[in-house]
Amino acid sequence: MRISYEFFPPADLDFTRVASHFNELKGFQPAFLSVTFGAGGSPEDKSLGLIKELQAHTNVNVAAHLTLVGKSIDDIDTIIQKLKILNVKTIVAIRGDSPNNLFVPAKKGFINTSDFVAYLKRNGFEVCVSAYPEPHPESEGFDFDLQLLQNKVEAGASKAITQFCFDLPQFDRLVESIAQRNIDVKLIPGIMPVASIKNILRMADRCGIVIPKSVTNRFNGDLDEDIKAAKELCLEQIEYLQNLGLNDFHFYTLNRSDLTYSILKEITANEIHEHKSRNAKSWQEERIKIRN
C-alpha cells in the first residue's frame, strides 16, 4: 500500500506546527505530499511558505495545488516560475471554486482544466488532477465528470486524486468506467478520517457528497467511541478499495496527525501480521514438501 498526505496553509501561517504534524506521520513513508492553494490575499505565498517548510523536513516530493480560476496565463506563469525555483516537480491542477458556483474564465486565462493541464505538462511538470466518485456540485452528472477526467488525462495528467466519498459502491462505477474507456491514469482515492462527523457533514454538503446513515449512525458524540468508529470506518474503506484493485491512498489530514497516525499504525500492524502469517504458511508448506 502506498500513501500520501494533503496539508493546507493555516490561517495563522504557523507552518512549523503543520510540519510537526507531518513529522509524526513521515515514518509511514509517504510517496508524496500535497499542499493546497491558500485562500485569501497572496494565496500563492501562503502555499509556497508551507511547501518550503515541508521540504526542510523531507526529501519526499511535495506537490503544489494550483487553481486556474481568476488567473490569467501570465499569472500562472509567475506562480509556476516560483514553484520551479522550489524544485516542485508535480502540480495538482484544479479549476477551483467560483463565486456563486458560476465559472467565468479569467481574461486571457484558461477556459478549461484540460488546456491548463496541457500547459503545465509543456512546462515540464508531472500533473495530477481530480476525479469524482459522486458528481461534482456543478456537474451535469457522472458521465460528464468522467469525460472531463478523460480529457484531462489525454492532455497529460498521469494521476487522479478522488474527492472523499463514503458511499463506497460509487467507486465501483468509477473504477469500471475508467477501465471501460481505457483511461490511462493512476486513480488515488482520497481518504478523509472522520475527526468530527459534524465538520465532515458540513464539508460534504458544500461538495455535494452523500454521507450514508450507516456512516453517521456510528458516531454518538462520545470522544473515545467516535475515534474507534473513525478508525474502523477508515480501515473498512481501504479494504473495500483494495478489493477493487486500488492500492494508493491520499489522506486528507486537515493539518492533524493524531487520527491519521492511529489509522496507519493499525494498518501497518495488520500488514505485518499478514506477512508473518504468509511466511509461516509458506514455511509449513515447504516442510511438508521436504517430508514427502
Domain holding 166: CATH number? 3.20.20.220
d(CA 123, CA 187): 23
What pLDDT shows up at residue 275?
38
Whole-number Cα distances in Å, 218 to 61, 196, 266: 36, 12, 19
Which residues carry out catalysis?
6
**What is the number of structural domains in the chain?**
1
Please give the pLDDT value at position 138: 79
Q: Residue 31's CB: how many other CB atoms inside 10 A? A: 14
Helix (H) or strand (E) holding 16: helix 15-25
This prediction has a pTM of 0.89
pLDDT at 283: 46
Contacts of 154 (CB under 8 A, 6+ apart): 114
Q: What is the pLDDT of residue 238?
A: 96
Range of the domain at 48: 2-291
pLDDT of residue 271: 62
Dist. CA 124–CA 292, nearest whole Å: 59
pLDDT in tens, the chain (292 residues): 999 999 999 989 999 999 999 999 999 999 999 999 865 445 678 899 999 999 999 999 999 999 998 899 999 999 999 999 999 999 999 988 766 666 777 888 898 999 999 999 999 999 999 999 998 877 789 999 999 999 999 999 999 999 999 999 999 999 999 999 999 999 999 999 999 999 999 999 888 899 999 999 999 989 999 999 999 999 999 999 999 999 999 999 999 999 999 999 998 886 644 534 454 454 455 555 555 5
The residue with cell 474527492 is 163
Copy the grid coordinates of residue 78: 509567475
pLDDT, residue 64, reads 97
